[in-house]
Amino acid sequence: MLDNDSCGIGIRQSRVGRCTIKTDGRFKNINGGQTKVKKIRLLIAAAAAAMIITVMLAGCNDKGRTTSQEEPEISEVSVSFSDGSDISSEEIPPEDEPDSSFSEEDVQAVNPDFLQIAGLDNTAQGWGQGVRLLEDNRPEAAVYFQEKYGSYGARFIGENNRNIYLTFDEGYENGYTEKILDTLKEKEVTAVFFITNSYARNNPELVLRMIREGHIIGNHSYYHKSYPSLSLEEAAQDLGDMHNYVLEHFGYRMWLFRPPEGAYSERTLALAQQMGYESVFWSFAYKDWDVDNQIGREAAYEQVSAHAHPGAIFLLHAVSKDNSEILGDIIDNFREQGYTLAKYDL
């Protein structure tokens, strides 16, 4: 018996295995050598011959060109992890599957031009806001370094206005992030959460909540290593791998970078900028990261609230019990002082 495909386009197989062609709503037997069928076959043969001649002529006019009809392979941004591990797709609800497309910005984030920045100074510097304050309570060092490195997309302090920006560093989860998110939601404040790869891997539900509730996710590196201690290639790989991990698993494109340990150099600032990132430091931080030596709710509140200043960028560690307890009162205090808890837009 003939298959449907052997009869050709517009032709179907009859019950007895004969091909029939539909014409004017009727099927006519074409199993014999009828005249109409012969004419049809001759027309088909003529058309095929004409096509062959056309192709041959086109080939003559295109000598030297490839005859392959396959499109050239296009390189795409790929995500590779040196430890060979990956997060299970089952850990992220289906409705939150990421956008797998990559834009030119994403390509830029993994393809810096080393030649432009290789000659820049790579002397490692550590950042701290210092203790010297200007009359408006703005740290003198933050203002100075903002002027010095602002051209590299670095941000040590905001503009001299009544805005305050809250940022949180997330290296690991200590059980307080959910409470912090609850407070921010209640107070209608948008913050920046700088996450490492281990944090994103182990806490996808919290990262998704941050995104859903409108917070900004920042790149705090893949392995949390001091970038000035790495080669340009290694630093770019680390930053790019973290960028692509969050993009692939959460559909989120990061654009803010907080250098691990606050360590930087002129060269690493330029590298981050060339990869489409702004390096965000801070104009206030305190020793809140030591979970075994928390100073207590009252002392933490006094220390943080006393350092409100125009354009402040507060660095708070989400592992701190003190921070989780004072956050709501701190927000209220800043507002009472006439400040706006602004979404980061510097």
* Distance in angstroms (rounded) separating the CA atoms of residues 256 and 272: 9
Domain membership flag for residue 176: yes
Q: Are residues 57 and 110 in the same domain?
A: no
Domain membership flag for residue 77: no
Q: Are residues 52 and 153 in the same domain?
A: no
Average pLDDT over residues 194-222: 98
Q: Are residues 153 and 221 in the same domain?
A: yes
Give catalytic residues, as residue numbers: 169, 317
Average pLDDT over residues 55-84: 35
Q: Are residues 136 and 37 in the same domain?
A: no
Domain membership flag for residue 117: yes
Taken as a whole, the chain contains a residue count of 346
Checking if the pLDDT of 51 tops 60, the result is no
* Domain limits for position 22: 4-61
Count of structural domains within the chain: 2
Q: Are residues 47 and 116 in the same domain?
A: no
Q: Which residue has the higher pLDDT, 295 or 90?
A: 295
Q: Are residues 49 and 180 in the same domain?
A: no
Q: Are residues 188 and 331 in the same domain?
A: yes
CATH code for the domain in which residue 264 is found: 3.20.20.370
List, for residues 113-153, the tens digit of each pLDDT value.
788 899 999 999 999 999 999 999 999 999 999 999 999 99
- Identity of residue 77: V
Q: Are residues 156 and 224 in the same domain?
A: yes
Q: Are residues 166 and 296 in the same domain?
A: yes
- 89-93, 258-262, 274-278: least confidently modelled range: 89-93
Q: Are 326 and 296 in contact (CB under 8 A)?
A: no
- 49-58, 113-122, 263-272: least confidently modelled range: 49-58
Q: Are residues 290 and 207 in the same domain?
A: yes
**Of 44, 61, 78, which closes a domain?**
61
Domain membership flag for residue 254: yes
The full DSSP string for 128-151 is ---S-B-TTS-BHHHHHHHHHHGG
Domain membership flag for residue 89: no
Q: Are residues 159 and 224 in the same domain?
A: yes
Q: Are 257 and 279 in contact (CB under 8 A)?
A: yes
Domain membership flag for residue 157: yes
Domain membership flag for residue 213: yes
Question: What per-residue confidence (pLDDT) applies to 116?
Answer: 87
Q: pLDDT class for 105, splitting at 50, 70, 90?
A: low
Question: What per-residue confidence (pLDDT) applies to 11?
Answer: 32
The full DSSP string for 145-185 is HHHHHGGGTEESS--SSSEEEEEEEESS--S-HHHHHHHHH
List, for residues 144-190, the tens digit of each pLDDT value.
999 999 999 999 999 999 999 999 999 999 999 999 999 999 999 99
Domain membership flag for residue 101: no
Question: What per-residue confidence (pLDDT) applies to 197?
Answer: 98
Q: Are residues 188 and 305 in the same domain?
A: yes
Average pLDDT over residues 291-303: 97
